[in-house]
Amino acid sequence: MGFHVTPLRSGSSGNLTLVEHAGTVLLVDAGLPSRRGLSTALSEAGCGWDDVDAVLVSHLHSDHVNSSAVACCARYEVPIHLHRRNLDGFSRKVLSRCPGSGPVRTFADDETFSIGGIEVQPFRVPHDARGVTCGFAFTSATRDVRVSMATDLGQNENGLFERFLDSDLILIEANYDEEMLNRSPRHDRGRVGSNVGHFSNTQAGKFLVRVLQESRKAPQAVILCHLSADHNTPEQARRTVRQILTDHRFGDVPVHTARRDAPSRKFTV
């Protein structure tokens, strides 16, 4: 049985991605400013909070989790899973602004846990959020299908690519085009391009080459995520990454981009 993955929003104005498998529905991040916005995003995918079995929090930046998500989870008793080293920050920054919350559950580094029919393997990625930033690999109970994702990450550390090996679907950040960023007057340019800020199109392409070179099978698709509105375009991101893959004889791997303000298509693997 396969996985269905639908990025509902992706970018600095909000992130949430539906991951469905064997009757289990996970929401990876739920970072929109309003409860209505979150419900609208779910309904655009034919889904509602009643259907969501759990929310996984990658890190504490407000485009990934905030009090709106906590309020929705409280109302529908949806458990929130986050890294245990994020619990303090989450309590102070998010929970303190909410009248209540649903169950909050923590996981540790590399602790594999099951939610319904989905096995979740969190792993740390370098990023400049307070606490810990996680990527996730999702597998079926039989481990025959693997989906791996990391939407906010800086320069890849040694070993990170191993988390993405043999995936059927890869979601990876391609935040900015390096030339567009260099031309930008924006003051946080240094942060975006730093080792812990965000992945560029070129970094994403090179990272994927390394993953593909070491993998025993090619992914059915790659989805580029968290594209900057100011320093990137979907066309530019796809062009750069496709060119790097083609240069390394991986040109037949389909490369897509996740949309910022609307659901992307549903990917089934």
Residues that bind Zn ion (CB under 5 A): 61, 63, 152
Q: How far is the CB of 202 from Zn ion (least distance, A)?
A: 19
| Spatial separation of the C-alpha atoms in residues 19 and 172, rounded to whole Å | 15
Q: Which two tokens stand for residue 135?
A: 């990527």
Q: Which is nearer to Zn ion, 20 or 63 (CB)?
A: 63
Side-chain-side CA neighbours of 27 within 13 Å: the count stands at 33
Calpha distance 245→241 (Å, rounded): 6
Name the residue nearer to Zn ion (CB basis): 61 or 256. 61
Q: How far is the CB of 186 from Zn ion (least distance, A)?
A: 16
Q: How many CA atoms lie within 13 A of 173 on its CB side?
A: 26
Tokens of 3: 């996985």
Measured at the CA of 116, the angle between CA 60 and CA 28, to 5 degrees, comes to: 25
Closer by beta carbon to Zn ion, 192 or else 209? 192
Instruction: Tell the smallest beta-carbon distance from residue 175 to Zn ion (Å).
Output: 9
Q: How far apart are the C-alpha atoms of 134 and 89, rounded to whole Å?
A: 15
State in angstroms the smallest separation of the CB of 210 from Zn ion.
23
Residue 108 to residue 106: CA distance in whole angstroms? 7
CB of 22: closest distance to Zn ion in angstroms?
28
Cβ–Cβ under 8 Å, residues 49 and 72 = yes
In terms of DSSP bridges, do strands 104-107 and 80-83 run parallel, antiparallel, or are they unpaired?
A: parallel
Q: How far is the CB of 112 from Zn ion (least distance, A)?
A: 24
**Secondary structure tally for the chain: helices H, strands E:** 7, 14
Please, which residue, 119 or 152, has the CB nearer to Zn ion?
A: 152
Q: Which is nearer to Zn ion, 63 or 177 (CB)?
A: 63
Which residue lies nearer to Zn ion by CB, 61 or 124? 61
The smaller minimum CB distance to Zn ion, of residues 20 and 152, is found at 152
Distance CA 120, CA 53 (A): 13
Q: How far apart are CA 75 and CA 29, in angstroms?
A: 17
Residue 201 Cβ, how far from Zn ion at the closest point, in Å?
16
The partner residues of 267 in beta bridges, in order of sequence, read 5
